[in-house]
Structure 1
Amino acid sequence: MAEYDKWDIRKLEILRTLRERGTVTATAQALLMTPSAVSQQLTNLAKQLGVTLLEAQGRRVRLTDAAELVLRHAAAVFEQLERADAELAAYTHGEVGEVRVGAFSTAVPALVVPAVRALRATRPGIFVQVREAEAAEAYELLGAGAVDLALSLAAQAPSAADPRFTRVPLLADPLDLALPHGHALAAAPVVRLADFAAEPWIFGGSGPWSDITRGACEAAGFSPHQGHSAAGWTAILAMVEAGMGVALVPRMAAVRREGVVMRELAGERPHRHVVAAVRRGAEEGAAVGFVLGALREAAGGLGR
């Protein structure tokens, strides 16, 4: 008869987190443990399973092939436990429950708030707790169990093949060109990205928006000259309004300003893709499913 008691879920979670975070210290921080407690738990797990799980690699440790085999089987266990939690919540609470959502800044007013408003009218027993987080950080929070649903940019998200998560495409958000009102091309019949190759561009110095802007311009045949650097849309649009340069702005983030003209680009219009994600198996929970549905509705409204 198999000795099931040696498969300790908590210790397996620690091992999985170590693979994700890379070091004992980072694992301890993620799980709110001490490094010594992490090491002790993993030593105990190795004894229980009768295999070597870690090997020293300089100041770091690496997972052995045996550890990878253990985690490959444990992934199915974690998925099934998420599914069990989801079904139990649906059975116990029906349409009552709390869903914690981590979302990047522009997604909060454009997608999350409309979804919350819709749920108040249709599912008043579901409470949505919102946490603003950078696109990449939202997935870290999801993996650590700090949120139940993450809204992110596809470019910042883990691969769709990542066994920990189920990804749900929500929106292809078009990028429009922001021009100062007095720009010579502000009223042109057709506006193409390549027409602005010689202009000073305004975008962040690093991060996803820098990558998206550079990628869109390079696809149009030029490398943008960064005249000014800013991360917030208020600052970017204020500089455009002042005639300091031009900028790509996602339609979801556009805020009307008197001196800024937003133009839809002709030809191959650049987009940024917005996705939602939950831990694999959790999408079957009633409350999470209703929130996903409301987010899809909100995204569909933006797409029309």
Structure 2
Amino acid sequence: MNPWRLRLLSLLDTLGTVRAVAQAAHLSPSSVSQQLAVLETETGTQLLERTGRRVRLTSAGLILARRARAILDHMDGVEEELRGFGEEPAGLVRLGAFQSAIHTLAVPAVTRLAREHPHLDVELLELEPHESVPALRVGEADLVITTTDFGELPLGPDLDLVPLATDPIVLVVPPEHPAAGRGTVDLAACADEPWAFDMPQSYMANLALRLCRRAGFEPRVACRFSNYMLALQHVEAGLSIALLPKLAVDRRYRVATRELTTPVTRTITAAIRRAAPPRAAVRAVLDALRHPPDLPPTGHE
């Protein structure tokens, strides 16, 4: 069986349609259909059944699709062993991480791994929490840093979760703002402020909107940025205030941070697929994330 075609079958199980698989694999729908037909020939088994213009997996197709990820992981492990590096972690690990975890957790880990394991290559992918778990499940990432709070993520028994850190959600204001001098802030007092928000339907945009509504008001959104640095610049200029994870508040910006009267904290978690024992390379990356150097100070109190 061709590993690439197995991956297409696994994607079909996860994404549901040939068109979605084609978009994920950067192929045409007809090419995906042709490759899946070849896979049926390779296995000598009917894997797909057609109902009108749609395609769905047969019982045999479901079994193979759901074992394909474990098969592909095992093949990666065998390839690593055959490279002859013994117990030395080697090969490529694709690490997905959300924006604020990249510079505080992922980059320090990758930097240390480059010194300690020269045959290990880490490809760093920026994936927000709502993107990372689906990418992990379909094999586009081997390991992700995500969050497990606020009911945002479709977690299940197919994943192993390793807590890495906790991170409070803070109010970020210009240093001259009246709220800058207080110990904690009740969001209800900020009902009339202009707000900097993340992009619609993103993890932080959804969380900030829920917190504002819980405080009894609909936020007046002055800007939306997918980059925390742009949001911090906007706040620093006195044009808005924001709710951000504390790890996202870079100390280079002249802003003040205040924790909320009703604390909100997210748990930063590493996730890997449970289908097969992790490769030595994946274990090395996970160990580096679990034992980070001291985090740099963030924000201005």
Whose helix fraction is larger, Structure 1's or Structure 2's? 1
Question: In the alignment, which of 259, 262, 268 is matched to residue 264 of structure 1?
Answer: 259
Q: Aligned match of 1:254 in 210, 233, 249?
A: 249
1:235 pairs with 2:230: yes
Tell me the SS of whatever aligns to 1:264: strand
2:118 corresponds to 1:97 = no
Cα distance change of structure 1 residues 281 and 8 upon mapping to structure 2, 3 Å threshold: same
What are structure 1's unaligned runs of at least 5 residues? 1-6
Q: From the superposition, tell whether residues 10 and 71 of structure 1 become closer, same or farther in structure 2 (CA, over 3 Å).
A: farther
Deviations 1:115-153 (A, max 9, x none): 123334544443323233444444454445443222334
TM-score of the two chains, using structure 2 as the length reference? 0.78
Larger displacement relative to structure 2 (287-296 or 73-82): 73-82
- The correspondence for 1:152, drawn from 134, 146, 149, is 146
How far apart in 2 are the matches of 1:43 and 1:77?
Answer: 16
Is residue 2:62 matched to residue 1:71?
yes
Using the TM superposition, give the Cα deviation of residue 27 of structure 1 relative to its aligned residue in structure 2, in angstroms: 2.0
Which of 97, 102, 113 matches 2:107? 113
State the TM-score, normalized to the length of structure 1: 0.77
Change (3 A) 1:217 1:10: same
The percentage of aligned residue pairs carrying the same residue is 35
Candidates 117, 121, 130, aligned match of 2:124: 130
Residue deviations 1:279-298, cap 9 Å, x none? 33455321211111111222
Displacement of 1:235 in angstroms is: 2.4
Among 170, 175, 186, the alignment partner of 1:176 is 170
Give the match for residue 272 of structure 2. Answer: 278
2:183–2:259 Cα contact (<8 Å) kept:
no
The whole-number CA distance in structure 1 between the counterparts of 2:77 and 2:296 is 29
Residue 212 of structure 2 corresponds to 217
8 Å contact 1:82–1:279 — kept in the other structure?
no
The C-alpha deviation readout for 1:138-178, integer Å capped at 9, x for no partner, is 44544454432223344697522163x43433333211111
Alignment partners' CA distance in 2, 1:287 and 1:281: 16
Contact 2:3 2:72 in 1 (8 A): no
Provide the C-alpha distance between the structure 2 equivalents of 1:35 and 1:239, rounded to a whole number of angstroms.
43
Across the aligned residues of Structure 1 and Structure 2, the Cα RMSD in angstroms comes to 3.5
Distance 1:41 1:114, change over 3 A: closer
* Map of 1:82 onto structure 2: 73
> 1:167–1:275: 8 Å Cα contact kept in structure 2?
yes
Matched residue SS, 2:171: strand
What secondary structure, in the 3-state scheme, does the structure 1 residue paired with 2:184 have?
A: coil
CA 83–216 in structure 1, closer or farther in 2 if over 3 Å, else same: farther
Measured after TM superposition, the shift of residue 77 of structure 1 is 5.8
**Aligned counterparts of 1:103 and 1:256: Cα–Cα separation in 2:** 20
Unaligned runs of 5+ in 2: none
Q: Number of aligned pairs?
A: 291
The residue type equivalent to 1:101 in the other structure is L
